[in-house]
Structure 1
Amino acid sequence: MSLVAIVGRPNVGKSTLFNRILGQRKALVEDFPGVTRDRHYADVTRYDKPFTLIDTGGFEPVSEDRLLVQMREQSQLAVEEADIILFVMDGREGLTPADHEVCGMLRRVEKPVLYVVNKVDSDKLEDLAGEFYALGVGELHTISAEHGRGVPDLVDALLDHLPAAPSDAEAEREIRLAVIGRPNVGKSSMVNRLLGYERVVANPQAGTTRDSVDTPFTYNRQRYVLIDTAGIRRKGKVSQKLEKFSVIQALKSMERAHVVLMVIDAVEGVTEQDLTVAGYAYEKGRGIILVVNKWDAVAKDQSTMKRYQEELERTFKFLSFAPVIFVSALTGQRVAKIMSEVEKVAAEFDRRIPTAMLNKVLAEAERSHQPPVFHGKRLKFFYMTQVETRPPTFVVFVNKAEGVHFSYQRYLANQLREAFGFSGVPIRIHYRDRERDRKD
């Protein structure tokens, strides 16, 4: 799909326009500059020509503030990637020297640019918007992204520049990979290292990434989408509305992902927040890889890694199936191993086991360890079948499902893992009464 980038100075309403075109509230919107710091991608499929829309941090050409400089760099990258550009200006504030400078830069990119004057929500402001013709551009699109005024005409003009979607093109099968963890554990640096360039803002200030940021890429001929999420904090620590929305975005990113990289700070060690974040991923049934970052900063001897891994196994008891990789996003140490592990976990996430093989394991498990007694009668298991993948989900038919004790459920899950592996993948086993199933 074509890439459409929304660019402009901070706080001119780019994210509001992004949400308006997308048709849902996906980007962060707050009434102060600098809220949107990274490029933010979303596929827009509600029109006859689908496209990918990119929201960006604002240009601030004269600023030397490090964060604003990084935001400018991100916007410039978006312009380089985009096929069409929406340059948004503030109709209430009027034409500024920064608008002139950005406009001059856009003239040099040799791509279609639609010049948009936002916050024009009255006829009076419509008249005042004429000053923007001083930029020497052809057509101006005056809109109010907040109220929707003029946006349909802008979208029509945008669609005129887009190529028709191929009628016989099939969407390529993709694997979605989310990078999760507490704030400031190095998630954005990890994304940049994996991709080989500075895709997202990496800044020592905790909480720099507020939106979930999607980046498509290909590895070993397989299409992936890498999702860099805002750092999740415990509910009691999330005070501002902005931070609360970031948590929602991160959780939604897990819902969209197939595999998650759970990033842990090797220097700080495992914290209660790490357990909370990992618990979210486990509850959502995602493939999980534990990535211990900043390993270069840990004082080590010959057994340090072994001791650390044993500590992880004790702490993350519910993630005993998850592989562990010790890396340094700063130096690149072992980062190359991550994608090969992702391939394995993604394959397990999609794995389907024939019913005959499952029932062979079930019968052997019963012989090795008899089912429990319930109300004076021993439970009888009839058969097992797999009903879903992503994650692998099984149903076991039994004479009294309520009598299957938790310890025996765990035993059967372990038998499945011993027989079939499922490395990095949670498995779900549901128990149903055979008689009730027949009635249904």
Structure 2
Amino acid sequence: MSLPCAVIVGRPNVGKSSLFNRVLGRRAAVVADREGVTRDRHYQDAEWAGKRFRIVDTGGFMPKSDGPLDDQVRKQITTALEEASVVVFVLDGRTGVTAQDQDFARLVLRGRRPVLLAVNKSEKRSAALEAAEAWSLGMGEPHPVSALTGFGIQDMLDVLVQMLPDSGPDGAPRDVLRLAVLGRPNAGKSTLVNALLGEDRVVTSEKAGTTRDAIDTELEYKEHRVILTDTAGLRKKARVDDEVEHFANLRALEAIRRSQVCVLLVDATLSIGEQDFRICQKVQEAGRGLFIVLNKWDAVDAGDKTFDHMVKEIHHRNPELQAVPFLAVSAMSGKRVTKVLEMAMKVKENLERILGRENVIEFFNQTLEIQSHPSTSRGPVNLSRCCQVLVDPVALAFETSHPERVLPSYVRFLRRRAVEHFDLMGVPVRIWFRSRFQLRTDEELESYMEGHREGFQEWNDAEWEEEGPALTPVLGAENE
């Protein structure tokens, strides 16, 4: 990775995640007023004074082990320190320097990395005096800050960017795939992420709920930059009775919105459940690409269910998933896990497809030959033309004099036809109807896609959602 890396470390509950969020200017990490909320390394890109860098949140350092999870958290911190360009060592200004701080400081200094000492929770005017005892750690000048109020943050960042080395030539934005790994608790999401990365990047356990946050990690795959987001297991709202788990659910839902493609991980020994269907609906409503991975396939009795039989059973329960690709893997053994990235790239390509004006005309004519819109009680519905109007996801607009008469069943038919005709597996194809619209050329779509990859759009897709029966029905929902 070419961007310089600032790693935030400290003992539990000194405010590392709050400082992480303050630097980013948004709530990117789950925080709570108790120890042990953060367990994994959490990466985000940041910028200050024109300098781009990567900032990393870590779990609280515990010198003595209270179990295997503490051992894994400590391993995560050690790995992060090895990656650091600068270490941001955080103290609690209210409690002062503790023996645990001193032990951890000695460990950090042995790594011979530049250290910026941040004394958090320094809301008072006397903060500079209270931070003075931090000099004893041998880490240089203490910087009193408050992640809660923002006090001292700008000064601290000014110092930090001066300490960071310049980024390499790959620091400029590139074509990126953001892939979110979703699923119910203990489906094996973190194990899959670790298998894809080839390292113990994320803390795993047989206990459900080990992952508390949406954790971003980068990898390179066939000259593409992939940002993997491991998420907390999504439960039904009625089963979420813990504040940390509540925010973890919110972060997982936000990860869907930030992603381009989502993979739903299902425990093949348990098959798919209603909560999995709800997750699929959230993904498709957000316009993100989707495919489903049946994990722990090596634990399925070969004489019990074949892959084709299980997929057919899922399609029978939810016909809308017939446009979603399936894979079978074993994240624990690593069997077929590279197929996950291959499928993610294929879905990404489908999302960004420019179908071609002539191809869309051919699709339109063939579709009307197969089935025109049936007459309704309010009169006929005649479709006069069709045009691709958006990419990522693909959206098709149909011109008709009476958009309000279009039947939901015909919208579903058009979506299935588009997926089959153009081989758009994994794409939640949008179908819109308008009484009149301006045709968009392939060149306009290419220009849009180029701008979209750079983080902006050349026209506002919201204009297509304001009128008429807008989005294609998702998972049986009625067309409003």
Q: Give the TM-score band, short-chain normalised.
A: over 0.9
Query: For 1:373, what is the secondary structure of its paired residue?
Result: coil
In the TM superposition, what is the alpha-carbon distance from 1:122 to its structure 2 partner?
A: 2.6
**Residue number in structure 1 paired with 2:449:** none
Q: Partners in 2 of 1:400 and 1:61 — Cα distance?
A: 70
Q: TM-score, normalised by structure 1?
A: 0.94
2:30: which partner in 1?
Answer: 28
> CA 1:83–1:371 in structure 2 vs 1: closer, same or farther (change >3 Å)?
same
Greater Cα offset, 355-364 or 222-231: 355-364
Shift of 1:398: 1.2
Instruction: Give the conservation status (yes or no) of the 8 Å contact 2:135–2:142.
Output: yes
Alpha-carbon spacing, 1:128–1:285, altered in 2? closer, same or farther (3 Å): closer
Does the CA-based 8 Å contact 1:399-1:435 persist in structure 2?
Answer: no
Aligned to 1:426: 428
* Partner residue in 2 for 1:407: 409
Of 40, 47, 50, the residue aligned with 1:48 is 50
Query: Is contact 1:62–1:98 with CA below 8 Å preserved after alignment?
Result: no
Say if 2:30 and 2:37, in contact at 8 Å, map to a contact too: yes
CA distance in 2 between partners of 1:126 and 1:63 (Å): 34
Determine whether 1:382 maps to 2:384. Answer: yes
1:243 pairs, out of 242, 245, 255, with: 245
CA distance in 1, matches of 2:204, 2:358: 50
RMSD over aligned CA atoms reads 2.2
- What corresponds to 2:329 in structure 1? 327
- Out of 66, 69, 82, the position equivalent to 1:67 is 69
Tell me, yes or no, if the aligned pair for 1:193 and 1:329 is still in contact at 8 Å: yes
CA distance in 2, matches of 1:154, 1:332: 43
Cα separation, 1, equivalents of 2:366 and 2:312: 30
**Alignment counterpart, residue 89 of structure 2, candidates 79, 87, 90:** 87
Q: How many angstroms apart in 2 are the aligned matches of 1:165 and 1:86?
A: 18
Q: Is the 8 A contact 1:285 1:391 kept in 2?
A: yes
* Equivalent AA in structure 2 for residue 420 of structure 1: F
State the partner residue of 2:291.
289
Residue 312 of structure 2 is aligned to residue 310 of structure 1: yes
Cα offset for 1:303?
5.3
Matches of 1:176 and 1:349 in 2, distance apart?
Answer: 13
Contact 1:190-1:329 at 8 Å conserved across structures? yes
Say which is worse superposed, 176-185 or 56-65, in terms of deviation: 56-65
1:59, distance to aligned residue in structure 2 (A): 0.9
SS of match in other structure, 1:262:
strand
Identify which range, 208-217 or 113-122, moves more after superposition. 113-122
Label 1:316 to 1:197 Cα distance change in 2 as closer, same or farther (>3 A). Answer: farther
Q: Deviations over 1:158-210 (max 9, x none)?
A: 01113456899641110110000111111000100111111111112211111
* Length, aligned pairs only: 438
Bigger mean CA offset, 207-216 vs 375-384 = 375-384
Deviation at 1:358, TM superposition (A): 1.0
Match of 2:207 in 1: 205
**Partners of 2:211 and 2:27 in 1: how far apart?**
18
Which residue does the alignment assign to 2:452? none
Deviations 1:328-349 (A, max 9, x none): 1111122122111112111101
Contact kept, 8 Å, 2:323 with 2:416, in 1: the verdict is no
The superposition leaves residues 104-144 of structure 1 with CA deviations (integer Å, 9 ceiling, x where unpaired) of 22222222111222222335554343332222332222222
Residue pair 1:121, 1:144 contacting (<8 A) in 2 also: yes
> Residue type matched to 2:106 in 1?
G
Give me the identity figure in percent.
Answer: 39
Q: How far does residue 87 in structure 1 lie from its aligned partner after superposition?
A: 0.6
Aligned partner letter, 2:56: I
SS in 2 for 1:51: strand
Are the counterparts in 2 of residues 313 and 320 from structure 1 also a CA contact under 8 Å? yes
Q: TM-score under structure 2 normalisation?
A: 0.86
My pick for the range that moved more, 298-307 or 226-235, is 298-307
Unpaired stretches in structure 1, ≥5 consecutive residues:
none
Deviation digits for residues 233-259 of structure 1 (CA, Å, limit 9, x no counterpart) = 111111222222111111111111111
Change (3 A) 1:153 1:368: closer
Q: What is the CA-CA distance between 1:265 and the residue it aligns to? A: 0.9
1:274 to 2:282 alignment: no
Q: Residue 68 of structure 1: CA displacement?
A: 1.8
Match of 2:197 in 1: 195
The residue number in structure 2 matching 1:178 is 180
2:231 to 222, 229, 232: 229
Structure 1 residues 388 and 212: CA distance shift in structure 2, 3 A: same
Task: Give the alignment of 1:344-359 within 5 angstroms.
Answer: 344-359=346-361
Bigger drift between 326-335 and 129-138 goes to 129-138
Q: Which residue in 1 is equivalent to 2:152?
A: 150
> CA 1:415–1:128 in 2, change beyond 3 Å: closer, same or farther?
closer
Give the Cα–Cα distance (whole angstroms) in 2 for the partners of residues 358 and 384 of structure 1: 7
Mapped contact 2:399–2:437 kept (Cα < 8 A): no
